[in-house]
Amino acid sequence: MLVSQRNVTEVQAYEIDLAIDVGLKQKSTFQLMSGHAGGRDGLGYTMLDAKNYIRSKRQRNMVYGEVGCLMRYFQQQLSKNPSFYHANQMDVEEQITNVFWADARMLINYEYFGDVVSLDTTYCTNRAHRPLAIFSGFNHHRGAVIFGAALLYDETAASFKWLFETFLEAHKQKRPLTIFTDQNQAMAKALKEVMPEIFHGLCTWHLMQNGIKHLGNLMKDGSHFLTDFKRCMYGIDDETQFEEAWIVPLAQYNIHENTWLQSTYSIKEKWAACYTKKAFTLGMRSTQLSESINSDIKICMNPDLDIMQFFKYFE
């Protein structure tokens, strides 16, 4: 175990690369290699040696910087399939801010199944908390399919406007009939500017979580407020009955002046069942579909990944 005697052989390096590629952590990788060798003493290198090998390889792979690696990755995808689409947005200092891409499979899936789209940006991929935006939907087997993805610099209206415009450009200006998002005002503003004619639905799950956050004090000690709120959201098909049912908890709990309820009521056409039934939704009521995709991504990703590892795991 002297420094002069320790060495990561070519075969061991290949095994480490394989383990990292399938998403194993460095510690788990070292334990796996130790088990194969019959113990750490028979391995020939230490945990620190493995970390140094991985770090050195990452530095070699990133020799052209993140931007250079990003462009090289997109060029490789284009050489494999000319249908691959990618775009990036530059800031005033000519630095890349937002990046969008869609491979051939995403483009084909959208052509067939792009009538109802879910957009989720709640998963951040790196230490800077840059959001990963995923456009997704259902196929004919009601399985999850992806229509496009983007790494955003921030979640401002300007970034979302660029994202929606780029998404339409990638898909030859074919617009969905319905899109579901979370309760993000910047996203809603950008969507209204770019695609004002489509139905914009709000994710009912996010709306319910916001309700619990803002009105949680009304849901204690056997209160029926949450049940009444859910009934307004899911259980009423008639608009007149909805108005009558909405007034009841307001009067019972004396919350007519609550600003969150007022703002939520003002956009009831986006979440109440009696209004959304008029839209073409394929039964979708939330962005849980794209969040399930995000949960799969989280299994093999962590904030320490460089840009090349991110794309490898994303594929």
CATH of segment(s) 65-203+286-314: 3.30.420
Q: What's the whole-number mean pLDDT along residues 99-124?
A: 90
Percent of the chain with pLDDT over 90: 34
pLDDT of residue 84: 96
- Residue 304: which pLDDT band, with cuts at 50, 70 and 90? low
- In this predicted structure, the answer to whether residue 243 has a pLDDT above a threshold of 50 is yes
Q: What's the whole-number mean pLDDT along residues 161-172?
A: 96
Question: Nearest to residue 61, comparing CAs of 309, 228, 297?
Answer: 309
Q: What is the pLDDT of residues 29-78, one digit of tens each?
A: 888 888 888 887 778 888 888 777 666 665 555 445 677 788 888 999 99
Q: What's the whole-number mean pLDDT along residues 187-215?
A: 90
| Residues β-bridged to residue 146 | 136
pLDDT of residue 97: 85
What is residue 242's three-state secondary structure? helix
Report the range of poorest mean pLDDT among 8-17, 70-79, 98-107, 172-181.
8-17
pLDDT of residue 106: 96
Question: Nearest to residue 144, comparing CAs of 282, 313, 311?
Answer: 282
DSSP state of 131: E
Laid out side by side, the sheet with 116-124 consists of 85-90, 96-102, 144-151, 131-138, 116-124, 178-181, 199-202
- In this predicted structure, the answer to whether residue 291 has a pLDDT above a threshold of 90 is no
| pTM metric for this prediction | 0.76
- Residue 2: which pLDDT band, with cuts at 50, 70 and 90? confident
Percent of the chain with pLDDT over 70: 86
pLDDT of residue 32: 85
pLDDT of residue 59: 54
- In this predicted structure, the answer to whether residue 210 has a pLDDT above a threshold of 80 is yes
Backbone angles phi, psi at 128, to 5 degrees: -80, 0
Q: What's the whole-number mean pLDDT along residues 191-214?
A: 90
Question: Nearest to residue 55, comparing CAs of 314, 304, 315?
Answer: 304
Report the range of poorest mean pLDDT among 50-54, 108-112, 183-187, 221-225.
50-54
pLDDT of residue 284: 82
- In this predicted structure, the answer to whether residue 124 has a pLDDT above a threshold of 80 is no
pLDDT of residue 274: 92
State how far the Cα of 23 lies from the Cα of 148, in Å rounded to an integer.
23
- In this predicted structure, the answer to whether residue 21 has a pLDDT above a threshold of 80 is no
